[in-house]
A and B are shown apart, each in its own frame.
Chain A
Amino acid sequence: MPDNLSASHKAASIRSRIRRLKFNDYVFSLVGLVCMMLGVVTLLALFTDLLLDGMERLNYEFFTSFPSRRAEHAGILSAWVGTMLVMLVTALVAVPMGVAAAIYLEEYAPSNLLTAIIEINVSNLAGVPSIIYGLLALGLFVYQLGLGQSILTAGLTLGLLILPIVIVATRESLRTIPREIREAAYALGATRWQMIYDHVLPYSRGGILTGVIIGMSRAIGETAPIITIGALTFIAFLPPPPFTPEAPYVSFEWLFAPFTVLPIQMFNWVSRPEEAFLINAAATGVVIIVMTLAMNALAIFLRYRIRKNIKW
């Protein structure tokens, strides 16, 4: 039966072809897995190593002490407070500016040459090395505007640094809102701003938030621009508190206070001769990583919550 034979031949060749393709599938998934594990395992190994080295110093005292020449008594109080305050200013700068810029580009900007140039610039800015922002800030904020080597300068610098990230993430997020939502709003007589403010923004805040937090986690580890603008290494006092007992009860003096941040403190300890300081450096590294991971976790959690609450 030649017909039968050829049919079974055909079936066999198809089967082997499928097998081969499935094998390719398998190989790729394996390669992908290895690639992914490479990143995760490296991070885990680094983190475990830091944790093992810095464990003994990670106690209450470490967080509540100022730096000191005696490694066992040295702590990161001024550094973590500095990092927190700088991050606060960074967020206050980058979020409103970034979101506003993204809304303009996405919803208002006419599609002409100027807009195209702005868009190209925004994507390019995301790739500019951070030290360049530091140099810009040194010239502009520190000397031209006379803001000094202060928390405000650092916050503005890092704010500019993450601005492109916030803009890009916000635009992506705005773009995911279906056209029908906008049209429905218009159909009910909403103006463009009402449509954006009441519909588009609330639905896209999950994505915006993710972008902001990714930007912030980049900013938290930045050392180069902060060193360029002249952050200090030894600071054994905290900035003045934002609230005062007398009127007007709020004070913005802290914005102009000298400061240090965690990465600088860590860098200084790494380069000290005594090995005991390396333990401090490792402990500081753990704190930075945990802060970054916590911010990312918060982003994931908030995105999940917000997505769940969206009802179209």
Chain B
Amino acid sequence: MTNFNLKALAAALLGGTLAVSLPVQAATPIVTVDGSSTVYPITEAVAEDFQKLKKNKVQVTVGISGTGGGFKKFCRGDIDISDASRPILKKEMELCAQNGVKYIELPVAFDALTVVIHPKNTWAEKMTVAELKKIWEPAAQGKITKWNQVNPAWPDAPLKLFGAGADSGTFDYFTEAIVGKSKSSRGDFTASEDDNVLVQGVSRDINALGFFGYAYYVANTNKLKASAIIEKDGKPAVLPSVETVMNGSYQPLARPIFIYVSNKSLDKPEVREFVEFYLKNAPELVKEVKYIPLGAEDYKLALKNVTNRKLGTGFGGTAEVGVLVSDLLAREGKH
């Protein structure tokens, strides 16, 4: 043991000095991606197939730091690509500008935020956006606690709410689309960053109502029921599905999700190839991981934006509901 200790100490010291004094050089080119957990399954699938195609001559790493955490690293220039479930915000744009990081914004898929209820709930199979607003707006806190307070036709039963945690892009988008202002919501609901917790919660309580990404609903259709959304009076009730999202009728809860590619990284052949592979194979892979692909034209447009190096964001630092992807890709980029 004592001998071993000394040897270990010597090895550690030697190893430390050697490793530090040697310049670190990556033998294999590496593409680094980090960011949203919502976009993660898509990027993971692309990375998996890309590495197989390249016979591991190129390495891809994907982390989950959340959209905000991803942008922080991205705007510092630490990573090549940032996964984002919402457009880049003002503050993040400024940070990127400060560090001279220019980027290309690429929508890669749709996610449909799904309002879910217990399978035995028969009254809330259709809900209007106005009703949802009545439930979720900040003024409802402590006041709207029963279903019949929202709609007199609904039962006199307690309303149990489940939703995404306040740090997630999902929460931002839902509040923007339903309440009209990002991050503006009642606070007295069960919030979790782990959507499986929400799935469990709603599936165990007939009076529950929750919302989360489409993939979690699709994986649990035996335990949950989706509520059809009526955007405005006079419009039909629409259930979330690949068709209704792709034809634009599932509104306002369908949202595009993005990757942001650093312009500087795009000079590296491996990053460029990876992004092209991403956009070319997205239609297949997106469906496989239970997200909803953009239209074929949109992917072509996105590829063109990569070739032309169309920099900046089409949003300008704020979230927007109901934006058309083709519009977005054609917009003048803001920095």
Which A residues fall within an 8 A CB radius of B?
66-69, 91-93, 95-96, 99-100, 152, 197, 201-202, 205, 208-209, 230-237, 240, 252-253, 255-256, 258, 268, 270-275, 306
Contact = CB atoms under 8 A, between A and B. Distances in A.
Contacts of B37: 271
A232 B62 contact: yes
B244 interface: no
B12 A93 contact: yes
A95 B5 contact: yes
Nearest to A73: B48
B321 interface: no
Contacts, number: 108
A95 B8 CA distance: 8
A69 B288 contact: yes
B60 interface: yes
B153 interface: no
Contact of B45 (A69, A202, A306): A69
Given A237-B51, A270-B196, A273-B290, A99 B5 contact: yes
Interface size class on chain B is 35 or more
B124 interface: no
A69 B219 CA distance: 14
Given A252-B18, A273-B218, A92 B44 contact: no
Contact of A202 (B1, B47, B65, B196): B1
A212 to B, nearest CB: 10
Contact of B219 (A93, A96, A274): A274
Contacts of A67: 44, 48
B59 interface: yes
A152 B19 CA distance: 10
Contacts of B51: 236-237
B196 A271 contact: yes
Nearest to A276: B219
B15 interface: yes
A270 B200 CA distance: 13
Contacts of A272: 41
B318 to A, nearest CB: 29
Contacts of B323: none
A68 B40 CA distance: 12
Contacts of B18: 252
Given A205-B2, A273-B196, A69 B41 contact: yes
Contacts of B15: 92, 252, 255
Contact of A268 (B32, B34, B64): B64
Interface string B151-168: 000000000000000000
Interface string B183-216: 0000000000011100100000000000001011
A6 B44 CA distance: 88
B56 interface: yes
B219 A202 contact: no
A253 B290 contact: no
A96 B8 contact: yes
A312 B63 CA distance: 55
Nearest to A150: B24
Nearest to B62: A234
Given A271-B195, A273-B216, A252 B1 contact: no
7 contacts: A67-B48, A92-B12, A92-B15, A99-B5, A233-B64, A253-B25, A255-B15
A230 B2 contact: no
A23 to B, nearest CB: 46
Given A69-B41, A272-B41, A92 B218 contact: no
A271 B196 CA distance: 6
A96 B43 CA distance: 42
Given A69-B288, A95-B8, A273-B220, A232 B63 contact: yes
Interface string B92-136: 000000000000000000000000000000000000000000000
Contacts of A271: 37, 194-196
**Interface hub of B2, B59, B62 (most chain A Cβ within 10 A):** B2
Nearest to A268: B64
A188 B332 CA distance: 87
B9 interface: yes
B289 interface: yes
A68 B60 CA distance: 13
A253 B24 contact: yes
B11 interface: yes
B1 A235 contact: no
